């Protein structure tokens, strides 16, 4: 299969030296990309700014803002069989980022915000037979919120995690998630490494792919490359 993964936070500029962002480290999305490659899939990773080395054999497209992430996903959506949106896209951005550094006193006027584009909602019209997986990082009503997002964004699967726990969610190497699918199934996984969670997600995708042979986990020789029509930074 061809799998498109997003990872990390986005950064929304306030001025040339300041930005709004979030605590996402990118570890979960990078683990998903790594698992996808290990299980024999062609993988493209759209990454926000993170301090991680990408898995080998993954093409990385580096982005900063939600707008840039949207553009990268739109460029590659036609190529992929499955989209895994693990990125923690900022929900808000400054209404008019300043070209010059804002003076401390000027800032007291307050920051005007506007919503960023909702990438999953926008690419929903191009879902066709593609498998769409989203994430829901919540601090309360985890299952209920995740189910709402699953339906609202037209997903096949949502990976829900309670980020108020110390050993799960942001920054750490482990996660405790629920896999909630559009057919109503809910699989509560125990605490496991993000690599193991990632493999569960890729295996779930493979189980839903009608074109995937049963031994596709060891598939080799998928060589066709995606179109290289936007900047690629393999060193991030």
Which residues are marked as active site?
A: 22
Tell which one of 34, 48, 134, 226 touches ligand C5P (CB under 6 A).
134
Number of residues in contact with ligand C5P under rule CB under 6 A: 15
14 part of the interface to ligand C5P, by CB under 6 A: no
Smallest distance, ligand C5P to C-beta of residue 6, A: 6
CB-wise, 35 or 136, nearer to ligand C5P? 136
119 part of the interface to ligand C5P, by CB under 6 A: yes
120 part of the interface to ligand C5P, by CB under 6 A: yes
Is residue 59 a contact partner of residue 45, using CB atoms and an 8 Å limit?
yes
> Which value, to the nearest 10 degrees, does the dihedral of the CA atoms of residues 104, 106, 109, 113 take?
-80
CB-wise, 66 or 212, nearer to ligand C5P? 66
177 part of the interface to ligand C5P, by CB under 6 A: no
Tell which one of 24, 116, 147, 161 touches ligand C5P (CB under 6 A).
116
Smallest distance, ligand C5P to C-beta of residue 84, A: 8
Q: Say how far apart CA 76 and CA 227 lie, in whole Å.
A: 8
Site mask for ligand C5P (CB under 6 A), range 66-95, x = bound: x------------------x-x-x-x----
Q: What are phi and psi of 85, to 5 degrees?
A: -90, 85
Smallest distance, ligand C5P to C-beta of residue 210, A: 23
Tell me how many degrees the CA angle 99-102-107 measures, rounded to the nearest 5. 135
Neighbouring residues of 188: CB distance < 8 A, sequence distance ≥ 6: 178
136 part of the interface to ligand C5P, by CB under 6 A: yes
Nearest to 43 by CA among 204, 202, 230: 202
Neighbouring residues of 77: CB distance < 8 A, sequence distance ≥ 6: 4, 83, 123, 126, 130
Tokens describing residue 161: 């995690």
Smallest distance, ligand C5P to C-beta of residue 3, A: 15
**DSSP 8-state assignment for residue 58:** -
């Amino acid at each position: 299969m061809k799998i498109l993964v997003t990872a990390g936070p986005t950064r929304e500029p306030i001025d040339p030296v300041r930005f709004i962002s979030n605590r996402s480290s990118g570890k979960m999305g990078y683990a998903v990309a790594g698992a996808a490659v290990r299980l024999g899939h062609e993988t493209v990773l759209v990454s926000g700014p993170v301090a991680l080395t990408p898995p080998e054999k993954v093409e990385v497209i580096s982005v900063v803002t939600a707008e840039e992430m949207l553009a990268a996903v739109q460029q590659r959506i036609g190529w992929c069989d499955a989209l895994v949106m693990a990125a923690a896209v900022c929900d808000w951005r400054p209404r008019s980022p300043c070209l010059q550094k804002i003076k401390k006193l000027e800032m007291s006027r307050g920051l005007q915000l506007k919503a960023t584009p909702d990438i999953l909602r926008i690419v929903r019209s191009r879902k066709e037979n593609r498998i769409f997986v989203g994430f829901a990082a919540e601090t309360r009503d985890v299952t209920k919120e995740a189910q709402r997002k699953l339906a609202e964004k037209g997903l096949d699967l949502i990976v829900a995690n309670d980020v108020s726990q110390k050993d799960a969610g942001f920054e750490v190497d482990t996660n405790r998630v629920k896999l909630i699918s559009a057919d109503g199934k809910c699989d509560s996984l125990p605490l496991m490494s993000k690599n193991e969670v990632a493999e569960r997600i890729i295996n779930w995708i493979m189980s839903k792919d009608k074109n995937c042979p049963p031994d596709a986990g060891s598939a080799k020789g998928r060589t066709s490359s995606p179109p290289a029509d936007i900047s690629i930074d393999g060193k991030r």
